[in-house]
């Protein structure tokens, strides 16, 4: 039995505990990653928005360029002042218009005319550049500048320029080695990249503390180099660290007309590209070369716009400008992760507890089944033996009588009574087994009648007494059915109960037989019947070794046999008490075990009294 439980324990550990623990460990690990996972997801979504915004900015710049190309004066030479001022007044995009000769001579505004403050400062900052004396940095996407080195030449022939550019950009973005190599190469060629202004904090950006280099590298060019091979364009110009965008267009006679694009209008147009600057989750905006957002919600606490969650540089025409996304509530990710983790923890705990409880229940059920199976096996062995023993003695005595060799009448009588008692034992056993199977199948019927329990008891005890006395037992019946109950008033009143006499006899016989079987040395059995209030009690008492406290509940279970040395010596089916209890409960009564003072057992039958007699 021990060995069996140990093995069950192993199976339990293997089938329930180990998978349960493994499952929990996996779940706990995934909870740990929950925050990073949510951040990663957010990063993906926001990056898509930001990339989209950057592409909108690029498109808008193209649109602005063509708008200005269309609106630029065609023949301003005759009266540059009024034509250019007219252009400025007509277009919100235009401030500080200018006109250059084919040789980069500033034709308008002229320093000697009566210029306003704006025109004067324009000249102050731009005249060197416009008259082709000063080089300015011109920016280019590094991936496009070196696209031939990124994309293999075999592909260069096959694809269109647009696709090649896209391919170069994405390969540059994905490959850190290529990035490093090209930045070094650009540096050697004097085309350095500035550092970005913004330092994204999303997981992909890692733990870096320094903003990464810009994807736009610059080289210094003069105006003639910039305008060579082209008819119009935009030029970003940093003046005192402020960015302004110049527009230029070559006219038919080689003249160049242009303007500074109005900063406010440019910003307004770009801001209007952002569909929804502010939501509960994120803020999306453009950040200018000073690290300031073009549009931002009003917030109680100042936000560090240089630390976005994700950001993308927009255009080579707006170096240092970035499309950036911020988490509206930076703590939201961890609190959301916390919430998800809470739910997961709860689920895991429920899972674990149910696995454990389920496992324990299954284990107990299996254990009970194993025990029952074992008891049944024991039962079959015991019953076979129980059947065989009386049969063998009956047969032996019958044969002895048959031979007629035994002439003494006394002996013959003894043999006959032994045969009777053995067949009674056999009958009792068979009755028990049959009854048990009937009860199991729900086919047990009682022939109920109103009867006198005292008479029933007396008849039974009187019948059994000779046999018990033969076996050296003293069997005594005490009747105390007086109203005072138990005070010695013998048979003062007849008590009636309702019951099936055969079943009740069988119950009493089972108890008597147990008293005999488990009595040991002191062979004294007492049966006491008495009435107390609405109950009749029949106590079967012996002076045997009693039932150990640990077994008192179990002895009434089917197939249960006490496992000690005494029981081991005594054969039995383990059904007697179970059937007795079932019969009595079916009669509205019960059978109980009570330890007897001075040693021994009391098995007490209790049955309800009926008073219609
Ligand atoms: P069986 O006697 O065939 O084993 P029972 O159902 O009649 O089966 O009894 C169950 C167990 O209860 C016995 O195995 C024995 O250990 C214990 N028992 C029953 N009657 C007595 C008694 N009078 N004294 C001591 N133990 C008893």
Sign of CA dihedral 124, 126, 128, 134: positive
> Could you tell me if the CB of 574 is within 6 A of ligand 1?
yes
Query: Tokens in use for 193?
Result: 């990249």
**According to the model, what pLDDT value does residue 73 have?**
94
Overall average pLDDT of the 293-309 stretch: 87
CB 220 within 8 A of CB 128: no
CB 448 within 8 A of CB 586: no
Residue 491's pLDDT band (cuts 50, 70, 90): very low
Here the contacts of 580-587 (C-beta below 8 Å, separation 24 or greater) are 580/506, 580/507, 580/510, 580/511, 580/605, 581/556, 582/439, 583/435, 583/500, 583/503, 583/504, 583/506, 583/507, 584/507, 586/444, 586/446, 586/503, 587/446, 587/497, 587/498, 587/499, 587/500, 587/503, 587/504
Residue nearest atom 26 in ligand 1 by C-alpha distance: 547
> Could you tell me if the CB of 429 is within 6 A of ligand 1?
no
CB 330 within 8 A of CB 285: no
- Round to whole Å and give the CA distance between 309 and 198: 10
- Round to whole Å and give the CA distance between 384 and 429: 11
For residue 560, give the ligand 1 atom closest to its CA: 10
Tell me the CA–centroid distance for residue 192 and ligand 1, in Å. Answer: 100
Of residues 544 and 493, more confidently modeled: 544
- Round to whole Å and give the CA distance between 527 and 547: 18
Residue nearest atom 12 in ligand 1 by C-alpha distance: 555
- Round to whole Å and give the CA distance between 541 and 543: 7
> Could you tell me if the CB of 515 is within 6 A of ligand 1?
yes
CB 497 within 8 A of CB 450: yes
Q: Which of 14-28, 313-327, 349-363, 393-407 has the highest average model confidence (pLDDT)?
A: 313-327
484 pLDDT above the threshold of 60: no
166 pLDDT above the threshold of 70: yes
Residue nearest atom 14 in ligand 1 by C-alpha distance: 561
5 pLDDT above the threshold of 70: no
> Could you tell me if the CB of 375 is within 6 A of ligand 1?
no
Least confident window among 17-26, 90-99, 127-136, 302-311: 17-26
Tell me the CA–centroid distance for residue 578 and ligand 1, in Å. Answer: 10
317 pLDDT above the threshold of 80: yes
> Could you tell me if the CB of 555 is within 6 A of ligand 1?
yes
- Round to whole Å and give the CA distance between 457 and 204: 93
**pLDDT tens by residue, 214-239:** 999 999 999 999 999 999 999 999 98
What are the angstrom distances between the C-alpha of 322 and each of 56, 239, 315, 410?
Answer: 12, 19, 8, 125
Phi, psi of 335 (to 5 degrees): -75, -30
> Could you tell me if the CB of 600 is within 6 A of ligand 1?
no
- Round to whole Å and give the CA distance between 204 and 309: 10
Tell me the CA–centroid distance for residue 558 and ligand 1, in Å. Answer: 11
Residue 488's pLDDT band (cuts 50, 70, 90): very low
Query: Tokens in use for 485?
Result: 């109950």
Tell me the CA–centroid distance for residue 557 and ligand 1, in Å. Answer: 11
**pLDDT tens by residue, 122-164:** 888 999 999 999 999 999 999 999 988 888 877 767 778 888 8
> Could you tell me if the CB of 578 is within 6 A of ligand 1?
yes
Overall average pLDDT of the 381-403 stretch: 86
**According to the model, what pLDDT value does residue 113 have?**
65
What are the angstrom distances between the C-alpha of 604 and each of 163, 542, 590?
Answer: 99, 12, 8
> Could you tell me if the CB of 573 is within 6 A of ligand 1?
yes
Sign of CA dihedral 265, 267, 272, 277: negative
User: What SS3 state is found at 202?
Assistant: coil
For residue 574, give the ligand 1 atom closest to its CA: 8
| 5 HSE (CA, 13 A, CB side) | 6
Tell me the CA–centroid distance for residue 424 and ligand 1, in Å. Answer: 19
Task: Kindly report the CATH number that applies to the domain delimited by 445-613.
Answer: 3.30.565.10
454 pLDDT above the threshold of 70: yes
Mutate to test the pocket of ligand 1, among 515, 540, 547, 580 (most ligand atoms within 8 A of CB): 547
For residue 544, give the ligand 1 atom closest to its CA: 24
Mutate to test the pocket of ligand 1, among 425, 553, 562 (most ligand atoms within 8 A of CB): 562
Of residues 10 and 451, more confidently modeled: 451
> Could you tell me if the CB of 540 is within 6 A of ligand 1?
no
- Determine which helix (DSSP H) or strand (DSSP E) holds 463, and give its type and residue range: helix 453-470
Residue nearest atom 21 in ligand 1 by C-alpha distance: 514
**According to the model, what pLDDT value does residue 485 have?**
45
How deeply is 288 buried, as exposed, middle or buried, from its count of CB atoms within 10 A (0-12, 13-18, 19+)? buried
34 pLDDT above the threshold of 80: no
Least Cα distance to 197 among 302, 299, 319 occurs for 319
| 3-state helix/strand/coil string of 507-535 | HHHHHHHHHHHCCCCCCEEEEEEEEECCE
CB 198 within 8 A of CB 291: yes
Contacts of 17 (CB under 8 A, 6+ apart): 356, 359
Least confident window among 112-126, 242-256, 304-318: 112-126
Instruction: Tell me which residue has tokens 């939201």.
Output: 332
Tell me the CA–centroid distance for residue 5 and ligand 1, in Å. Answer: 25
Least Cα distance to 105 among 139, 130, 69, 142 occurs for 130
206 pLDDT above the threshold of 70: no
Tell me the CA–centroid distance for residue 433 and ligand 1, in Å. Answer: 16
Tell me the CA–centroid distance for residue 364 and ligand 1, in Å. Answer: 25
Domain extents in the chain = 42-270, 445-613
Least confident window among 278-287, 353-362, 600-609: 353-362
Strand 213-221 and strand 136-141: the pairing is antiparallel
- Round to whole Å and give the CA distance between 561 and 518: 12
> Could you tell me if the CB of 383 is within 6 A of ligand 1?
no
Mutate to test the pocket of ligand 1, among 520, 561, 591 (most ligand atoms within 8 A of CB): 561
Reported pTM: 0.58
597 pLDDT above the threshold of 60: yes
Overall average pLDDT of the 482-504 stretch: 71
> Could you tell me if the CB of 293 is within 6 A of ligand 1?
no
What is the number of residues in the chain? Answer: 613
Rg for the chain, CA atoms, rounded: 54
- The beta strands (E) that lie in 103-177 are given as 106-108, 136-141
Tell me the CA–centroid distance for residue 412 and ligand 1, in Å. Answer: 33
Residue 271's pLDDT band (cuts 50, 70, 90): very high
What are the angstrom distances between the C-alpha of 233 and each of 84, 250, 383?
Answer: 18, 9, 110
CB 537 within 8 A of CB 529: yes
CB 531 within 8 A of CB 605: no
Tell me the CA–centroid distance for residue 507 and ligand 1, in Å. Answer: 13
Mean per-residue pLDDT of the chain = 87
Residue nearest atom 15 in ligand 1 by C-alpha distance: 562
DSSP H helices in 324-450: 332-403, 409-440
Q: What is the dihedral of CA 286, 292, 298, 304, to 10 degrees?
A: 100
Least Cα distance to 511 among 421, 579, 438 occurs for 579
3 pLDDT above the threshold of 60: no
> Could you tell me if the CB of 525 is within 6 A of ligand 1?
no
Residue nearest atom 25 in ligand 1 by C-alpha distance: 546
- Determine which helix (DSSP H) or strand (DSSP E) holds 609, and give its type and residue range: strand 601-610
Query: Tokens in use for 314?
Result: 């927009």
Measured from the Cβ of residue 465, the count of other Cβ atoms closer than 10 Å reads: 16
Residue nearest atom 7 in ligand 1 by C-alpha distance: 576
- Round to whole Å and give the CA distance between 555 and 581: 10
Overall average pLDDT of the 490-495 stretch: 66
Instruction: Tell me which residue has tokens 């935009």.
Output: 234
Least Cα distance to 399 among 383, 419, 413 occurs for 419
Mutate to test the pocket of ligand 1, among 577, 578, 605 (most ligand atoms within 8 A of CB): 577
613 pLDDT above the threshold of 80: no
CB 283 within 8 A of CB 296: yes
> Could you tell me if the CB of 547 is within 6 A of ligand 1?
yes
> Could you tell me if the CB of 513 is within 6 A of ligand 1?
no
Of residues 491 and 454, more confidently modeled: 454
> Could you tell me if the CB of 562 is within 6 A of ligand 1?
yes
> Could you tell me if the CB of 542 is within 6 A of ligand 1?
yes
**According to the model, what pLDDT value does residue 489 have?**
45
**According to the model, what pLDDT value does residue 482 have?**
63
């Amino acid at each position: 039995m021990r060995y069996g439980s140990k093995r069950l324990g192993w199976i339990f550990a293997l089938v329930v505990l180990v998978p349960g623990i493994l499952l929990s460990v996996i779940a706990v690990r995934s909870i740990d990653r929950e925050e990073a996972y949510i951040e990663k997801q957010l990063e993906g979504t926001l990056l898509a928005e930001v990339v989209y915004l950057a592409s909108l900015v690029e498109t808008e710049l193209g649109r602005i360029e063509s708008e200005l190309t269309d609106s630029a004066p065609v023949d301003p030479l005759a009266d540059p002042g009024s034509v250019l001022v007219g252009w400025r007044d007509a277009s919100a995009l235009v401030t500080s218009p200018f006109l250059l000769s084919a040789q980069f001579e500033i034709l308008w505004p002229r320093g000697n005319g009566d210029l306003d403050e704006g025109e004067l400062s324009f000249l102050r900052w731009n005249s060197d550049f416009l008259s082709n004396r000063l080089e300015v940095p011109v920016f280019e996407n590094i991936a496009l500048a070196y696209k031939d080195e990124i994309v293999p030449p075999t592909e260069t022939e096959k694809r269109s320029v647009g696709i090649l550019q896209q391919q170069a950009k994405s390969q540059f973005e994905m490959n850190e080695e290529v990035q490093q190599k090209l930045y070094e190469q650009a540096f050697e060629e004097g085309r350095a990249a500035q550092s970005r202004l913004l330092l994204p904090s999303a997981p992909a950006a890692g733990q870096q503390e320094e903003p990464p280099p810009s994807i736009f590298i610059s080289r210094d060019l003069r105006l003639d180099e910039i305008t060579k091979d082209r008819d119009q364009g935009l030029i970003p110009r940093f003046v005192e660290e402020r960015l302004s965008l110049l527009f230029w267009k070559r006219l038919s006679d080689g003249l160049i007309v242009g303007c500074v694009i109005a900063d406010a209008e440019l910003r307004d147009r770009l801001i209007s590209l952002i569909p929804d600057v502010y939501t509960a989750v994120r803020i999306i905006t453009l950040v200018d070369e000073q690290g300031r957002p073009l549009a931002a919600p009003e917030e109680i606490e100042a936000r560090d716009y240089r630390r976005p969650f994700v950001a993308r540089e927009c255009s080579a025409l707006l170096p240092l400008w970035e499309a950036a996304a911020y988490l509206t509530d930076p703590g939201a990710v961890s609190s959301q992760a916390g919430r998800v983790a809470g739910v997961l923890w709860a689920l895991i705990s429920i899972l674990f507890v149910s696995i454990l409880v389920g496992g324990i229940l299954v284990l107990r059920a299996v254990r009970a089944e194993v025990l029952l199976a074992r008891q049944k096996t024991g039962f079959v062995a015991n019953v076979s033996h129980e059947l065989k023993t009386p049969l063998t003695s009956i047969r032996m005595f019958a044969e002895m009588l048959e031979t007629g060799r035994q002439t003494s009448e006394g002996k013959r009588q003894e043999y006959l009574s032994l045969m009777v008692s053995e067949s009674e034992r056999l009958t009792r056993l068979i009755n028990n087994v049959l009854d048990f199977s009937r009860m199991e199948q729900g086919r047990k019927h009682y022939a109920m009648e109103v009867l006198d329990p005292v008479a029933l008891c007396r008849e039974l005890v009187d019948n059994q007494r000779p046999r018990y006395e033969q076996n050296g037992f003293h069997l005594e019946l005490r009747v105390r059915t007086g109203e005072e109950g138990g005070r010695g008033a013998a048979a003062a009143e007849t008590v009636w109960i309702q019951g099936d006499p055969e079943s009740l006899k069988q119950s009493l016989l089972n108890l008597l037989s147990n008293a005999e079987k488990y009595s040991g040395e002191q062979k004294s059995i007492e049966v006491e019947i008495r009435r107390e209030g609405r109950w009749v009690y029949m106590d079967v008492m012996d002076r045997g070794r009693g039932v150990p406290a640990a077994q008192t509940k179990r002895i009434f279970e089917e197939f249960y046999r006490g496992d000690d040395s005494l029981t081991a010596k005594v054969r039995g089916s383990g059904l007697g008490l179970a059937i007795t209890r079932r019969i009595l409960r079916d009669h509205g009564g019960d059978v109980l075990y009570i330890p007897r003072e001075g040693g021994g057992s009391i098995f007490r039958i209790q049955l309800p009294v009926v008073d219609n007699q």
